[in-house]
Chains A and B, each alone.
Chain A
Amino acid sequence: MPVNWIALTVFVLCFAGVTVLGFASAHWRKGDLDLLHEWGLGGGTFGTLITWFLIGGDIYTAYTFIAVPAVAFGAGALAFFAVPYTTLIYPITFVVFPRMWSVCRRHGYITAADFVRGRFGNRWLALAVALTGLLATMPYIALQLVGLEVVIAGLGVTTEGLIGHLPLLIAFVILAAFTYTSGLRAPATIAVVKDLMIYIVIIAAVGVVVRTFGGFGPLFAAVPPEKLILPTPPAGSTGVYGVYASLALGSAAALFMYPHAITAILSSSTRNVIRRNSALLPAYSLVLAFLTLLGFMAIAVGVKAKPEYAALFARYSNQFAVPALILDIFPPWFAGFSFAAIGIGALVPAAIMSIAAANLWTRNIHLEFINPRATPAEESRMAKLVSLLVKFGALVFVLGIPKEYAINLQLLGGVWIIQTLPAVLIGLYTRWFNSWALLAGWAVGMAFGTLVVDANAFKNATYVLSVGGYQLPGYVAIYALAANLIVAVVVTLLVNMVLRPERRDATVAADYV
C-alpha cells in the first residue's frame, strides 16, 4: 500500500498538537511536580468533567477500538460482550469506589497496594498486590503500542524492518517525554481532545451507515446469520451463553482492579465526582457498542476481499478490519483524523498506565523494601524514572516479541489482576480475612488461572467446569477468583482456630465514609 500523504499529514498535525498540549499541561492547575501526589495523581483535583474524560480515555483504549471490532468482524456477536462488560462496572463503581477514595484520601494512599498495606498491616500481601498490578499492566501498555502500529501501517507507512520501527519510536519518545514532565496532568488534558475526536469519528461512521446502507437494518442483513447472535448451547452445557456472561462479569470485576483505573479514580477531587461519573460514563459504553458494529460494517463493505488491503490483513489479520474500513469509507483527510483519534487513544492510557505502574513501584517496592528513607522529592524522581522504564519495557515487548504474545498476556492480565479483588475490594468492607490467608488465596488463584490459560496454549481464557456431567464453560478469571476466595476463607478459619493473630489495621471505620 502506498503512503497516503493527505492522511499522514493530518495524522502528524494532530499528533503535533497533542504533543504541545502534553507539555503545556505541566502548567495547568499548577502544583509542585516534585511531589508524587502531584505528579502521579494530578494533585487529586480533577472535577466531574475532567474525570469523565480521563476515565473514558483510560479504559476505552486504542486497543479496544482495534480489537473489539476485529472480534465482531471475525467471530460476530461474541464481541458484543464488551457492552454488558462496560455497563456492569458502573453500579459497582458507584457503591465501592467512593469508599476507596475516602480511605485513600484520609491516609495519603496513592495505590491499591498502599491501602492493602494499611488495612492488613502485611507488607508481603501489599507486595503481591503491587507485583500483580505491574505484571498485568506491562502487556496492556504493549497492546496500546500494537494499536498504534496498526494505524501507522494503515497510513501506508512501512512498519517492517528497522526503519519501520521509527514512527512507533517517535510516538513513544513523545509519550515518554510529556509523561515525565507533566505527570497525570498530561493524559488528563489530552484525553479531552482524544475523546472528542473519537465521538466525531463514531458519529461520522453512523452517518456513513445511514447514507450508504440506508440504515442499520441492511447493515445487519449483510452479516452472516450465524454471526448475528450467539449459538444456542448444546444439551448438557451452558455453551457460549456461559462464556459470554462470565466474560462480561469477570472483565467488569477485573477492570477497576487495574492500577491505571484506580489512579484515575483517586485523582478525582471528591467522592461525588466518582458517584456522578458512574451515571455519566455509560455514554462511552454506547460509543463502544457502535464501535463494535464497525466490525459488521467491515463485513458489509467486504474489506477483506479488496486486493489493496491484502498485505496488511496478512500481517495484522482481523485487527486490520477497522483501519481498512476507515480507509474505504472516509476521504483521506478524515481517515487521517480517525487514525489520529485511535493513535492518541493509545497515548492516553499508555501514559496513565505507566504512571500507575511507577506509583506502585515507588511506593510499594522501592519505599517499602529498598529505601524507606527516601525524601518526597526522591520519591517523585524515582517514579518519573520508572515511568520511562516501564514504557521502554513495553516497547521492547512490542518490537521484540510476536504480537500474539502481547494479546495473550493481556488476556492473562485480566485473570491475574482479578486475584487482588479479595484484598482490595472486599478489604474495603471487612478485615475479617487473615492477611496470610489472602496471600494464600492469591497464590492459588494466580497459579490456577495461569495453568488453565497455559493448557489452552494461550489461545483463549475459557475453563470448562463439569458438575455431575453438566458442562459449564466460562471465563477462567471467575473460576480462579472462586478458588482464591475459597482458600482465603478456609485458611482464615484455620488460622483463627489455631492462633489468635493480632490485627494491624491502620484504618478506622470512619475513614470509609
Chain B
Amino acid sequence: MVHRIDDSPVRRKRPSPWLWLLLIPYPALLWVPFYNRVEPQILGFPFFYAYQMAFVVLTAIVTALVYAVTD
C-alpha cells in the first residue's frame, strides 16, 4: 500500500442544508415520553405502537425527499 501525505488545501463542497431534515427521527423516537401511552388508539393499535410505526414511514419519506433534492 502506498502512503502519501495529502496536505493539499481541501476543496470542500458545502453540505446541503436539506441534510438537517435527517435528524428529525432521532429525538422523535429516542424521547420515549413522546409516545409511551396507550391512548389514543389508532386502528386498534395503542399509541406506543402506532406512533413508532408511523415514524418508520415518515423516516423513509424524509430520506426519500432528501435523496431527491441532494446529489
Contacts and interface: CB of A to CB of B under 8 A. Distances in A.
B3 A505 contact: yes
Given A94-B63, A504-B3, A248 B56 contact: no
A372 to B, nearest CB: 10
A229 B48 contact: yes
Contacts of B62: 91
Contact of B1 (A218, A506, A513): A506
B29 A84 contact: yes
Contacts of A121: 3
A245 B63 contact: no
A248 B29 contact: yes
Contacts of B11: 509
Nearest to B23: A91
Interface in A155-181: none
A279 B67 CA distance: 8
A91 B1 contact: no
Given A94-B22, A216-B43, A230-B36, A83 B30 contact: no
A503 interface: yes
A289 interface: yes
Given A91-B59, A508-B8, A249 B30 contact: yes
Interface string B9-46: 01111000001001101100111110011100101111
Interface string A203-229: 000000000000111111000010011
Contacts, number: 124
B29 A117 contact: no
Interface string A268-281: 00000001101110
Contacts of A490: none
A280 B59 CA distance: 10
Contacts of A507: 6
B55 A506 contact: no
A245 B56 contact: no
A427 interface: no
Interface in A407-425: none
B46 A229 contact: yes
Most buried by A among B12, B22, B29: B29
A104 interface: no
Given A87-B29, A230-B32, A282-B57, A276 B67 contact: yes
A248 B28 CA distance: 12
Taking chain A's interface residues, is the majority helix, strand, or loop, or is none over half, making it mixed?
Answer: helix
Most buried by A among B1, B45, B48: B1
B30 A245 contact: yes
Given A117-B1, A245-B32, A504-B3, A278 B49 contact: no
B67 A275 contact: yes
Nearest to B59: A87
A146 to B, nearest CB: 27
A87 B25 contact: yes
A245 B30 CA distance: 5
A91 B44 contact: no
The 9 tightest CB contacts between A and B, nearest first, are A217-B44, A216-B44, A91-B22, A279-B64, A241-B32, A84-B29, A282-B60, A279-B63, A508-B6
Given A218-B44, A230-B32, 18 more contacts: A80-B49, A83-B53, A84-B30, A90-B59, A91-B26, A94-B66, A217-B44, A225-B38, A228-B38, A229-B37, A230-B48, A245-B30, A245-B32, A278-B63, A278-B67, A289-B52, A506-B1, A509-B6
10 contacts: A83-B56, A87-B29, A88-B29, A91-B59, A215-B43, A229-B37, A248-B30, A286-B56, A289-B53, A502-B5
Interface of B: 1-6, 8, 10-13, 19, 22-23, 25-26, 29-33, 36-38, 41, 43-46, 48-49, 52-53, 55-57, 59-60, 62-64, 66-67
Interface of A: 77, 80, 83-84, 87-88, 90-91, 94-95, 117-118, 121, 215-220, 225, 228-230, 232, 241, 244-245, 248-249, 275-276, 278-280, 282-283, 285-286, 289, 293, 502-509, 513
